[in-house]
Amino acid sequence: MVKKADFEAPVLGDYTEVPAVTPGAMQHSQPYVAKPAHNEALGYPGELVDNWQEVAVNKLGELVKGSRALRVYLDSCVKCGACTDKCHYFLGTGDPNNMPVARQDLLRSVYRRHYTVAGKYLPKLVGAKDLDEEMLDNWYKYFHQCSQCRRCSVYCPYGIDTAEVSMAAREIMDTIGKGQKYCNEIIGKVHKLGNNLGLPEPALADTLEGLEEDVEEEINVAVKFPLDVKGAEVLLVTPSADFFAEPHIDGLIGYAKVFHQAGISWTLSSHASEAANFGLFIGSVDNMQKVAMRIREAALELGVKRIVFGECGHAWRVGYSFLNTLAGPFDFLDSNYPVPQHIVEVTHDLIEQGRLKMDASANDDKRVTFHDSCNVARASRMGAKSGGQFSLPRDVIKASCNHFFDMPADTIGEATFCCGGGGGLLTDDLVELRVKGAKPRMQALKDVHEQHRITHMAAICAICKSQFSKVLPYYGFEMDQIISVHQLVGDALVFNSDS
């Protein structure tokens, strides 16, 4: 169904040009539709229901009633165009439906038709449209070309966040039985087995044991990777990619080394062996809450005092912004620490307290830049001060290596570009979209590569890491130029046995 590699990767120029509007440029791109079993496991109808128009319109009304954000966003857009050149998918494809306002309008036009006076009586005048098959088709295609990165919301004069609109649209589609395979299959696995990979407890225990052996062999220090240890101080919740994938696993090794050197007892949980929460991507608060509750249950069962999240972008959004709401209150944990904490916050604190012995020259073979992950940058914080999500990771990287350079200012911090694979789009059936959507980030990387001879880009998100491993080669880079922040940390830590 999906043809592979029959597209041309964009060619990078001297700077990112805003492309001319090219209608239909990505009209052919859509992810696999979920099978009935995937939908039903999440409480949705297996296949498109007969009266889908009616169900969808009713669901839209229900969502608008339940979300101030959605209501205000659907009413307030003045079509000023501020967002039109901000989305990485538009910059990479030129498809007008990838302009945030046009993407929102796919839903807004139906809202106007059914829920506003002007749209009911003068649809043509105000651009109101019926929800017909063509519209549903466009919903499915273009709401799966949004990575919910919130870059548009930074520039909108009313803060309209297309992520909220695309989440609502996906929830409506789930409700009528038109779910996306990648997300729904994964959420089903989390509900059933505790993680996105569908990795059962014995396999996880095996993997961690192997890791312990590997690390001990390499540095001659018995760094532990504990699983389900009752009474540990810290419960570490990390994306399951950290157990397997490159370069994620080097990040996990880094966290373990940090805990080891600081003398903090910690444990992973087989019940909550996944930080990711794809319930966010499909806009389902119920699924998101169910997935989040595993973390509370694991913390209670293991009797830990703190919850720490590993490197994962949207997981940190759910952890930082929503966990307290969805699964709190966490008054049974140590109130001296925020709940939850990010591993970068933990490492940063330890560095400030002088509790880590680091030699940055261990990374002298690398010249490093940092990719701000979209959900961390625009939907969360680290540390006590606003903007800590930008300064803390950079502090940690600078303590770990001697050669750090930022990418251009309009591509980092709150203006950061999504990697191109976030929001439930990290699937092979969307590879063309992912490659093209990575263009603005690749352009920025090329800039620092040429200016500062950058060799590596560090990231704090499992999706970013997987996505860049895949798309870097399309732009003439090597797949291993993407690394985990805690790989740098782990390699810079000095253990006594080294001397």
Which residue's CB is nearer to other proteins, number 54 or number 62?
62
Minimum Å gap between C-beta 414 and other proteins is 6
Pick the piece of the chain touching other proteins (CB under 8 A) from 2-10, 137-145, 317-325, 428-436: 317-325
Identify which of 127, 131, 128, 1 has the alpha carbon closest to the alpha carbon of residue 55.
131
Torsion (CA) 339, 343, 344, 348 in degrees, nearest 10: 80
Which residue's CB is nearer to other proteins, number 135 or number 356?
135
Residue 155 lies near other proteins (rule: CB under 8 A): yes
How many distinct helices (H) and strands (E) make up the chain? 23, 7
Residue 158 lies near other proteins (rule: CB under 8 A): yes
Residue 296 lies near other proteins (rule: CB under 8 A): yes
Identify which of 96, 84, 101 has the alpha carbon closest to the alpha carbon of residue 25.
96
Minimum Å gap between C-beta 431 and other proteins is 26
Residue 24 lies near other proteins (rule: CB under 8 A): no
Q: Report the Cα 45 to chain-centroid distance in Å.
A: 27
Compose the 31-70 pattern: x for residues touching other proteins by CB under 8 A, - for all others: ---------------------------------xxxxxx-
Report the residue from 141, 150, 260, 470 that binds other proteins according to the rule CB under 8 A.
Answer: 150
Report the residue from 339, 419, 425, 463 that binds other proteins according to the rule CB under 8 A.
Answer: 339
Residue 379 lies near other proteins (rule: CB under 8 A): yes
Which residue's CB is nearer to other proteins, number 80 or number 479?
80
Place of tokens 């290596």: 401
**For the chain, how far is it from start to end, CA to CA, in angstroms?**
57
Minimum Å gap between C-beta 270 and other proteins is 21
Residues 110-129 touching other proteins, rule: CB under 8 A, are 116-118, 124-127
Minimum Å gap between C-beta 376 and other proteins is 9
Compose the 64-83 pattern: x for residues touching other proteins by CB under 8 A, - for all others: xxxxxx-xxx-xxxxxxxxx
Residue 143 lies near other proteins (rule: CB under 8 A): no
Q: What is the DSSP string of 43-99?
A: TS-SS--TTHHHHHHHHHHHHHHH-HHHHHHHHH-----TTTTT-HHHHHH--GGGS
Residue 338 lies near other proteins (rule: CB under 8 A): yes
CB–CB of 342/320 below 8 Å?
yes
Residues in the interface with other proteins (CB under 8 A) total 76
Residue 420 lies near other proteins (rule: CB under 8 A): no
Q: State how far the Cα of 478 lies from the Cα of 496, in Å rounded to an integer.
A: 34
Residue 409 lies near other proteins (rule: CB under 8 A): no
Q: Where are the alpha helices (H) located in 263-401, listed in sequence order? A: 285-302, 313-317, 323-327, 343-352, 374-379, 388-400
Backbone φ, ψ for residue 120 (5° rounding) = -70, -40
Which residue's CB is nearer to other proteins, number 141 or number 150?
150
**Edge-to-edge, what's the strand order for the sheet holding 368-370?**
368-370, 456-459, 482-484
Residues 177-196 touching other proteins, rule: CB under 8 A, are none
